[in-house]
Structure 1
Amino acid sequence: MLMYRRLLAASAVFALLSGAAYAQDVKTAEALRDKALLDRTAWEITEDLTTTIGPRLVGSPAMERAKDWGVAKFKALGFTNIKVEQFAKPSWTRGEESGELVAPYPMKLNVLGLGRTVPTPPGGIEADVALFKTFADLVAAPESAVKGKIVVITQPMVRTQDASGYGVAGISRRAGPTEAAKRGAVAILIRSISTSDSTVAHTGVTAFGDGVATVPSAAIGVPEAEQLERLSKKGPLRIRLKLASTTDPNDVAWNISGEIKGSEKPDEVIVIGGHLDSWDVGTGALDDATGIGITTAAAKLIGELPKHPKRTIRVVMWGSEESGGSSEAYLAAHKDEVPKIVLAGESDEGADNIFALKLPAGAQGTPFATTVANVLSPLKILVAREASRGGGADISGLEQAGVPSVEMRQDASRYFDYHHTMDDTLNKVRPNELAQNVAAWTSLIYLVADSDIDFRALKPAGAAPAAK
């Protein structure tokens, strides 16, 4: 019975994509793909955002300029129904930062405070070091080994194409400060969540534990972490640390959106985009000016067609991804619209070549998936057998509310060399690979927008029958 329903669903999709209209859609998607490879809109958007606005930390004057920039960009590129949706968002601002190894000998440390870290006392902190090679070692340590000390975690990150190494190593940043605080530490330094061998440190948000007063938290570059690890084998270490950050609990952020209105079913919406905010170091080129450029350029190219596709394409510039908040705010503002959002996707993994596409559950093996695979094949992109499990932090709320999503998997092999650092700058963006991203998004989104496919109706293989 289940297989029969899947065959019916596949047949329905095929019927919707059959005949002359289907052939024309494929031809148009291929033409858009090829045009996108030569189009410079995404590069110009990325260049303008990183140059004109620069770093875009939530709560900063630059972020407010970025909001106005986004509105102006949508207008200039022909988008309609442009909206600025404000939401409450506490902000964090970096202050003076310094670190130094004081024993067994003096050595300056290039510390970079983690996002949302609490400050040290004005005079700083000086304490002995409790060094752990992994986060798990810290968790296993008794309080007596940590209390009153500065914790140092030197766990490295593994370089992978699919970014899986980030989730494993990132636990030191996300939960390390809380675990250190539980055990009575006075501060924590982590080896940067990085695949490089650079002394340039990586920032990134850290979490707060329930009922736990967190501790001042910062990252150090890879060579410094390795040096401290070697030194710890020879004897005790002592470090001096000073962090002077501030917070504003009453700040705001904005989600900005613009649309290419559908010609036949304008109330059915495809939501795509990238995040407008960035950390305060670097200019947020790979993270995530390119995501803004890729998705905006894709929609703009589709909008230049003589006739818009059936469904509306909405591009969102989410305003607070790095420290969270955009997803929840967007869902709250659009909860009544959720049943009409047919697909969501986010570009937020840099701009190197896309190597795989994950479609919503149930779409695998359908004629639609075959069509997409054929259109994307010249770009050297495969359509994965696995379904999308999470298309991006800013669409996670929509996904949890039942909106189908796609994952465009980019080659992340070098992304974490620059991610969250002062080296995340325009010269790291490869124009040809950026264009490949635009070509993929343009052709996929057009095929969905000009179809009647209902991803919610496609049941994944092995799914339980609906209750009677």
Structure 2
Amino acid sequence: MKRFGFLLATGVALLALGGPAFAADAPVLPPAAVKTATDIQGKALAGSGAFGFVESLTVRVGPRLAGSPAAKLSHQWAEARFKELGLTNIKVEPFTVDGWERGLEMASITKPVAHHLHVNALGHSVTTPPEGIEAPIVRFDTLEDLEAAPEGSLKGKIAFVDKKMSRLQDGGGYGEAVGVRGKGPEAAARKGAVALLIRSIGTDSHRFPHTGITRYAEGVTAIPAGALSNPDADQLNRVLALGQPVSIKLVLSSQAMGTLNDANVLAEIKGRELPDEIVVIGAHLDSWDLGTGALDDGAGVGIVLATAKILKSLPQAPRRTVRFVLFGAEEVGLVGAEAYAKQHAAELPKHQVGTEADFGAGPVITFNANVRPEAKPVITAIGKILAPLGIVPGRGPSSGGPDIGPMTAEGVASAGLGLDGTDYFDYHHTADDTLDKVDPKKLDQAVAAYASFVWLAAESPVAFGPVDKKDH
């Protein structure tokens, strides 16, 4: 990417000038802290080691479905990495999760012509009968159109929602499209449907369906739900355009596994002056089971561990404690994040700020934060220090990341380092989420951004929170 290469080269040149070049622009931060931040960026850009962590996780563990044996193996892997880095207060904090396992997945058009379709069950989908379901299909443009269908109009039929996702650099198209994945099965069942198919929530044109968690409402019949790859959704539309009744056969043998154990894995670098005040950087360990979870969220795990490696190598510890959190069971509904917020409720008022890397492998292109008014000048100063990396101010409020949400709901400040998501949803939740999609240099830039931010947040002369809950 030419723009990234130019900005990266510019950033390296500016870094070579050293800390004092930034000090005049950032008087609200201690000059020594600014100098260290530029050193951190230089180290990361020269080779952060993040890619090696991603490779190790995806090769030694592989896909990590919440509650599975592989998830437990990932906890052991993370604990070992934290020990190797020399971190302290390492903990594996357990919680429970509803387990689920994918099984046989097949779909085909049976009338008026025969076509095989690529399909994946949505996460926690119920199973079809062993022989499958064969039924007429009814197409809807959007979830809202499905919800507006007459009562009973889908009795004995399969609903198909054809909502397309827009490709946007910040991933904003995802939020506009993903509602059908969570609410679609309930809406279809209320109208009498025997199953639901959706167009994949993704931006690619490959025959890799995109999975993801779905929901079932109490008191509503749970029906099987799957996602077609985008090319297969297109083919289904072409057959529908023939103007003849269309039937589909669907076989999904996924099953619930009951209550299973999962965990968050934590470690710290204890603060030298304010050890009870905490800066959190996180990512999630779990992944869907189709690929190896390299982008979602192995890359984030690599960013967190490389940040820990760099901060641990510094001559002195940060002023505040930095806590590194690898959350479990994010993909199935932020279960680990909710568990963390509950288990650490008493110390949340001491959490100064939280940020998460969970949007691919970089580069970071935007920065924003939600902090109390007294800390906004510090955020502005940090933004200037991040600018040579090609990072510009982000628009809108900062959530900090999905797993930070339960903390921000309790008033913890948040910072968003927005990763470039232009092609992220080509691979998200698919079998194509593999290590070859991770660019080590872009990942190094992301580490430079996250690590220097975390350092400066820990060194800030003012506290970032608490933030009024209504501001989140």
Q: Could you tell me the TM-score, scaled by structure 1's length? A: 0.91
Match of 2:416 among 385, 407, 424: 407
Cα distance in 1, alignment partners of residues 133 and 397 from structure 2:
48
Q: Distance in 1 between matches of 2:289 and 2:357?
A: 20
Q: What is the identity, as a one-letter code, of the residue corresponding to 1:378? A: P
Q: Distance in 1 between matches of 2:179 and 2:372?
A: 32
Residue 314 (1) aligns with residue 323 (2): yes
Give the AA of the match of 1:382.
Answer: V
Counterpart CA distance in 2 for 1:361 and 1:445 is 14
CA contact (8 A) 1:273 1:296 kept: no
Paired residue for 1:102? 110
- How far does the alpha carbon of each residue in 1:32-76 deviate from its partner, in whole angstroms, 9 at most, with x for none? 111111123211110100111100001222111111001001001
The verdict on how the C-alpha distance between 1:333 and 1:423 changes in structure 2, with shifts beyond 3 A counting, is same
2:386 and 2:404 map into 1 onto residues whose CA distance is 23
Percent sequence identity is 44
Contact 2:103 2:255 in 1 (8 A): yes
Question: How big is the shift at 1:362?
Answer: 4.3
**Residue 368 (structure 1) aligned with residue 378 (structure 2):** yes
Aligned to 1:269: 278
CA distance in 1: counterparts of 2:351 and 2:148, whole angstroms: 45
Q: Is the 8 A contact 2:400 2:414 kept in 1?
A: yes
Cα distance in 2 for partners of 1:318, 1:374 equals 30
Match of residue 423 from structure 1 = 432
Q: Does 1:156 align with 2:164?
A: yes
1:8 aligns to what?
A: none
SS in 2 for 1:151: strand
Once the two structures are superposed, residues 164-194 of structure 1 have per-residue CA deviations (whole angstroms, 9 ceiling, x without a partner) of 1001111121111110011110001111001
Aligned length: 445
CA contact (8 A) 1:91 1:247 kept: yes
State how far apart, in whole Å, the 1-side matches of 2:402 and 2:299 are. 16
Q: Note the aligned Cα RMSD (angstroms).
A: 2.0
TM-score by length of 2: 0.91
Aligned counterpart for 1:433 among listed residues 423, 442, 448: 442
2:407 to 383, 398, 404: 398
Structure 1 residue 459, shift from structure 2 partner: 8.1
* Residues 210-219 or 108-117, more deviating: 210-219
Give unpaired runs (5+ residues) of structure 1: 1-13, 464-468
Counterpart secondary structure, 2:344 = helix
Q: Distance in 1 between matches of 2:395 and 2:257?
A: 45
SS at match of 1:250: strand
> Could you tell me how far apart the structure 1 residues matched to 2:468 and 2:192 are?
50
Counterpart of 1:25 in structure 2 is 33
* Equivalent residues of 1:363, 1:369 under 8 A apart: no
Query: Deviation per CA, 1:384-404, whole angstroms, max 9, x where unpaired?
Result: 36431x222212111111111
Tell me whether 1:128 sits opposite 2:103 in the alignment.
no
Residue 281 (structure 1) aligned to one of 275, 283, 290: 290
The answer to whether 1:346 aligns with 2:390 is no
Could you give the per-residue CA deviations for residues 170-219 of structure 1, whole angstroms, max 9, x where no partner exists? 11211111100111100011110010111111100001123212210001
Q: Show the counterpart of 1:230.
A: 238
Does residue 92 of structure 2 align to residue 90 of structure 1? Answer: no
Asked whether the 8 Å contact 2:352–2:466 carries over to 1, the reply is no
Unaligned runs of 5+ in 2: 1-22
Q: Given the alignment of the two structures, is residue 329 of structure 1 paired with residue 303 of structure 2, yes or no?
A: no
Are the aligned partners of 1:362 and 1:387 in contact in 2 as well (CA < 8 Å)?
no
Q: Which residue of 2 aligns with 1:292?
A: 301
| 1:219 matched residue in structure 2 | 227
SS of the counterpart of 1:403?
Answer: coil
Contact 1:186 1:215 in 2 (8 A): yes
Matched residue, 2:145: 137
Structure 1 segments of 4+ aligned residues over 2 angstroms from their partners: 361-367, 383-387, 456-460
**Does structure 1 conserve the Cα–Cα contact (< 8 Å) formed by 2:349 and 2:466?**
no
SS of residue in 2 equivalent to 1:455: coil
Distance 1:82 1:365, change over 3 A: closer
